[in-house]
Structure 1
Amino acid sequence: MNDTKIDFLYLNEEDMIKAGVKEMGRCVEAMEEMFKLLKVGDYRMGGANGNSHGVMVTFPEKSTFDNMPLDGPDRRFMAMPAYLGGKFDMAGMKWYGSNAENRKKGLPRSILMLILNDKDTGAPVAYMSANVLSAYRTGAVPGVGVKYFAREDSKAVGIIGPGVMSRTAFAATMAVRPGIETVKIKGRSSKSINSFVKYLNEEYPQLKDIHVVDTEEEAVRGCDIVHIATSSATTDIYEYPYIKEEWIKKGAVLCCPAAARFDDDFILNRARTVTDNIKLYEAWEEEMDFPAYATIPIPAVHCMDLIAEKKMSRDNIDDLGDILMKKIPVHRKKDEIVIYSVGGMPVEDIAWGTIVYKNAVERGIGTKLNLWDVPNMA
């Protein structure tokens, strides 16, 4: 007789922390392994192309229905499904609602949950709080880039946009380049800047210098690593943070998980563009109206637009997975400047979520919930 009983593990945010979701060093390792699986093709994401970032529900500017939400900053729902093979061998989906107005209620802009599913039956394995998980996997992906592209003796980091993304990206940076001594911070509000400075002082007392600066130029000059993670309104690319080539230190790596803009001449002729997964950007180019960069403000999306305009060749873009698999060199030339685009993918959530889930099982953390003993409608 078949055992039809299905239980799954519920992990709230405190459970996730106890299960090691903030173990950044291990998270960077998990992302590195995930990138290798992407390169050999042992994964699937949404859409007919198998590489979609996810499916988004947005709202109209006006509605005849009083109850319907209206468009606003970061006002959306999103489903991000994926399967990841290898040692993870897990399917699942991150689901979230987002609204910038949440901050007035003391809530994060986005509230995220991750469900993990058995790859064969589809039965739930775990249902977990995913805000911290998502933040750490988001920071760990730049961490992989820093591990490979940044100078071994890197000393200075520039932060443009001192929010959650930059906080975890910096944690990943310290995990792979512990010799960092100086941090320069460019932010928009004193609240976000002061919060970031407090975080640095509490978590990294070994830092020698923390400077708050007024311009992007000051944040970039002299830095070995720059994290650019501001929230910018889309449609007008000239509102994106602009980084001039002459500000950038030779050999620097610029991590771009959000809006950033560089001169086309620099992108086409001197910078090295690296993507976390080139197929994700090709999928965006396929799914979005041209120019896709007006909707998705990440630099590699602009490169896809340049390719569509026949101004740039696909061969001018390197994929991180090819570097990890030793198909192409870590560095193509001395003192190259790397613009590393980070798009964010549900396979990242599956990778880190699976590890944290297994930790929770081993440590007896979480609450077991029952779906059914015998399904009523089998």
Structure 2
Amino acid sequence: MDILWLEQKDVRSLLNISDAMDAVEKAFEQHGRKKIQMPPKSYLYFEGHNGDLRTMPAYLEEQDVAGVKIVNVHPDNRQKGLPTVMALFVLNSTVTGAPLAVMDGTYLTDIRTGAAGGIAAKHLARPESRIMGIVGSGNQARTQLLAITNVFDLEEVKVYSEHMARAEQFKLEMEDKAGCTITVCSSIEDVCDCDILVTVTPVREPIVKSEWIKPGTHINAIGADAAGKEEIEASILERSRVVVDDIAQASHSGEVNIPISKGIITVDDICCELGEVIAGLKPGRSGDSEITVFDSTGLAIQDVATALLVYNAAKEKGIGKMLPMF
């Protein structure tokens, strides 16, 4: 039996942010209507290596397709010349259980996470939002920007990185793609003076203070995707309408995980899941002065939906290699 093998260059050639956003939005809607199967991600923590390995399976009932991603997060990899995040995705037939394709999941992860941020902003940010702030300047900062510019006509993007040279490189690389001015800021406080704030860092102590967040701001809290991670002060959550990608998963490993464990907020303080907003089952933003927060941990349904998109495009265009397996 042969299986389709897709390298990262193949996935890059087949996947764009606009199509990914459509696929991921539909997956979230199915999640809101309980038309998926998706156990919470499982983690292996490697003591002494500052890293973890995660497995993420899911089944999309309406597309009748399943798959699983294996992904690591090792923040020290940059010093070793390796990506912080590397992933492999296996797409499976539900009829036989056989793998249909094995593909790079690293670029897939970047794009589908950015897509989720763009979709969240579409449903939760003020429609007239024109200024975006980004804390962090890595790969995820890039895909979040691409997704949000797909929805909003931005006038300025403010970016902060603890490494100024990386922020300057981000500006150089992304200004034309964003179609607006990118301003490198010297402080996180300056970045927070915006309409849509995106945090994409691996920190374990809050770096965004409540006093910096003005009424009407929408926040995509992307970086906290494992137990113990936290980017924004808990008091911001107390002031906000909090929407998560998945309550069970976010409670364990999202931005809300530490405030919940400390009793600062409870699961009942979470408004709802993003899929419920998209499906029209729960309200999103209630007014222009409300602060909204999207707590993104990254769902396996995003990977399956995006991988299916890549697989179908690869078959149509004859891209990839068929390799024997069984």
TM-score by length of 1: 0.79
2:158 counterpart letter in structure 1: K
- Tell me the residue number matched to 1:359: 313
List aligned pairs for 1:210-249, cutoff 5 A: 210-221=182-193, 223-232=194-203, 234=204, 239-244=205-210, 246-249=211-214
Kept in 2, the 8 Å contact 1:281–1:304? The answer is no
- Tell me the residue number matched to 1:329: 283
Distance change >3 Å, CA 142–CA 311, structure 1 → 2: closer
- Tell me the residue number matched to 1:288: none
Rounded to whole Å, the distance in 1 between the matches of 2:29 and 2:265 is: 30
TM-superposition CA deviations, 1:344-372 (whole Å, max 9, x none): 11121111011111011011111111223
TM-superposition CA deviations, 1:198-248 (whole Å, max 9, x none): 1223423x31x3221122111001x1101011111x3xxxx221322x422
- Tell me the residue number matched to 1:83: 59
Displacement, 1:170? Answer: 0.7
Distance change >3 Å, CA 157–CA 361, structure 1 → 2: same
List aligned pairs for 1:193-204, cutoff 5 A: 193-204=167-178
1:267 partnered with 2:237: yes
SS of residue matched to 1:91: strand
Moved more, 348-357 or 255-264: 255-264
- Tell me the residue number matched to 1:64: none
TM-superposition CA deviations, 1:35-93 (whole Å, max 9, x none): 11112222222xxxx3x12x222334xxxxxxxxxx222x2332222222212x21111
- Tell me the residue number matched to 1:13: 8
Rounded to whole Å, the distance in 1 between the matches of 2:285 and 2:73 is: 38
Rounded to whole Å, the distance in 2 between the matches of 1:249 and 1:369 is: 54
- Tell me the residue number matched to 1:138: 113
Rounded to whole Å, the distance in 2 between the matches of 1:330 and 1:310 is: 23
Rounded to whole Å, the distance in 1 between the matches of 2:248 and 2:20 is: 23
TM-superposition CA deviations, 1:298-323 (whole Å, max 9, x none): 332245336xx485461552221221
2:87 counterpart letter in structure 1: L
List aligned pairs for 1:76-155, cutoff 5 A: 76-87=52-63, 89-155=64-130
1:301 partnered with 2:257: yes
Distance change >3 Å, CA 315–CA 115, structure 1 → 2: same
- Tell me the residue number matched to 1:56: 43
- Tell me the residue number matched to 2:222: 257
SS of residue matched to 1:314: helix
1:78 counterpart letter in structure 2: R
Rounded to whole Å, the distance in 1 between the matches of 2:265 and 2:169 is: 42
SS of residue matched to 1:348: helix
Displacement, 1:260? Answer: 1.8
2:67 counterpart letter in structure 1: G
Distance change >3 Å, CA 30–CA 173, structure 1 → 2: same
TM-score by length of 2: 0.91
Q: 2:27 aligns with which of 30, 34, 39?
A: 34
Kept in 1, the 8 Å contact 2:244–2:270? The answer is no
Rounded to whole Å, the distance in 2 between the matches of 1:102 and 1:111 is: 10
Aligned length: 320
Radius of gyration: which is bigger? 1
Moved more, 30-39 or 318-327: 318-327
Distance change >3 Å, CA 323–CA 99, structure 1 → 2: closer
Q: 1:184 aligns with which of 148, 152, 158?
A: 158
Displacement, 1:194? Answer: 2.0
Runs (5+) with no aligned partner, structure 1? 1-5, 61-70, 285-295, 373-378
Displacement, 1:252? Answer: 1.5
Kept in 2, the 8 Å contact 1:143–1:176? The answer is yes
Distance change >3 Å, CA 44–CA 279, structure 1 → 2: same
CA RMSD of aligned residues (A): 2.0
